A and B are shown apart, each in its own frame.
Chain A
């Protein structure tokens, strides 16, 4: 039962990793930008929710209504004003720009909030669980996280497949110059894609914060590691691959935790390395996002 329980918790933890990986996958799949600041964008999302909680007294769910669109707008303009210029300078420039952002944000957060953990309370949601059988429980928050992750992936898939902006995003990923020849300003398409990636990252950051009960300036470093690992395990640029990658990582970590509490991170990294060596294209053989 211990193993079954660990498996179940691992699968649900995978939902959180998938959510974290989704924005990264969109940025890479459509813009071919490896966003090294992805974890920090998640951290900012969590901080905004924490500030909403402590300063305005609104619940974390209400704060999400503001945080997610706000970060979407931030992503749009970061792409338009900063990353788009970098993209014209070659493949290395955007990588360096996002690396710079990844350094600036935690330091700015320390200046503003110190290194103390900012609490993100969800009331009793974090401890509520549903009994499936004797000794087998699922937490309501992890279940909700998984449901949101699946909804996000399905929603993104629908957006890309069924909407005009989605078609333009996929076309831009294929050939942005030809897209321009057809009257579409690819810069706006890229910016919309980055806005989407930022919004989803912020949402994932808040869910991370809820799981951990709060957020610190350096949480992004760990979050981006999990996100990268889920993306690589699942298959670079594949939407449902991020879910599969997240679940593999989650299960690996949780099963390792059964053996020893020090092992989860190490085993997760080893699984990631094994996939890189044995199946570098990822475990899901599918189209790019895209």
Chain B
């Protein structure tokens, strides 16, 4: 069966520095695929390659079987791949509602509108007319995810959802996201919080220094295997 979104032997970097080396992965409809790994493992670069925001030096990206490696970021978003970038990157001079409305820029039809996004992420309801620059970190992340949903994606790429947020805020955010998982949406999740990842992911790919070193389901992998893969054998064997 053709995967919804598949990366084949992706190699990517910045100048002479290689961030991702020959990584292959695939995400299916309705699946949450988590990328875990330490800082600098290449997770964010891989997400950017999948979104078309970074050109790989080798390898191909396929969307529903079609080669989209050379398709630019905005066009890839129109075809159903949306990246919610690290750091939220809201449009600071726009209100929350306007941020969401810009998300409808891809003009794809689907279930997500301002109303359905607010229904799924109720935290946004009272904030719609507030300026994006006035929000807390958790509120900003909710807007960023809502804005991504507004593109009505088939694949949502979430980069560092809980980075810099208080545990209670992360709990609230993930509780809201329960209504987003599934429903045919494929999700690639980059998350530092391993507990959280194991709770929501259907499958896990562990990255170390640009390589995919471990893949499996949360139930098939032991904590030791993931920790070894996360930090590398040398550290884990201390």
Residues on A lying within 8 angstroms of B by beta carbon are: 164, 167-168, 170-171, 173-175, 177-186, 287-288, 290
B91-113 near A? 1/0 per residue, CB < 8 Å: 11110001101110111100000
Segment 130-181 of B: residues with Cβ below 8 Å from A? 147-148, 150-151
Q: B148 to chain A: which residues have CB within 8 Å?
A: 182
Cβ contact within 8 Å between A183 and B105: yes
Is residue B62 contacting chain A, with contact meaning CB distance below 8 A? no
Cβ contact within 8 Å between A181 and B101: no
Cβ contact within 8 Å between B74 and A171: no
How distant is the Cα of A185 from the Cα of B107 in the complex, in angstroms?
Answer: 12
Interface stretch, picked from B2-10, B14-22, B76-84, is: B76-84
Question: Residue A183 contacts which of B77, B92, B98, B99 (CB distance < 8 angstroms)?
Answer: B77
How distant is the Cα of A186 from the Cα of B73 in the complex, in angstroms?
Answer: 11
Indicate the member of A179, A182, A184, A287 with the most B CB atoms within 10 Å.
A182
Cβ contact within 8 Å between A182 and B151: yes
Cβ contact within 8 Å between B73 and A180: yes
Q: B51 to chain A: which residues have CB within 8 Å?
A: 181
Q: B75 to chain A: which residues have CB within 8 Å?
A: 183, 185
Q: A167 to chain B: which residues have CB within 8 Å?
A: 94, 98, 101-102
Question: Residue A181 contacts which of B77, B93, B98 (CB distance < 8 angstroms)?
Answer: B77
- Closest CB in chain B relative to A188 CB, distance in Å: 9
Question: Residue B53 contacts which of A170, A173, A181, A185 (CB distance < 8 angstroms)?
Answer: A181
Question: Residue B102 contacts which of A171, A177, A288, A290 (CB distance < 8 angstroms)?
Answer: A171
With A170-B93, A183-B106, A184-B106 given, name 15 new contacts (CB 8 A). A168-B105, A170-B94, A171-B94, A171-B98, A174-B92, A175-B91, A180-B72, A181-B77, A182-B77, A183-B75, A183-B77, A183-B82, A183-B105, A183-B151, A185-B74
Nearest B-chain residue to A187, judged by Cβ = B74
How distant is the Cα of A173 from the Cα of B148 in the complex, in angstroms?
Answer: 19
How distant is the Cα of A290 from the Cα of B98 in the complex, in angstroms?
Answer: 13
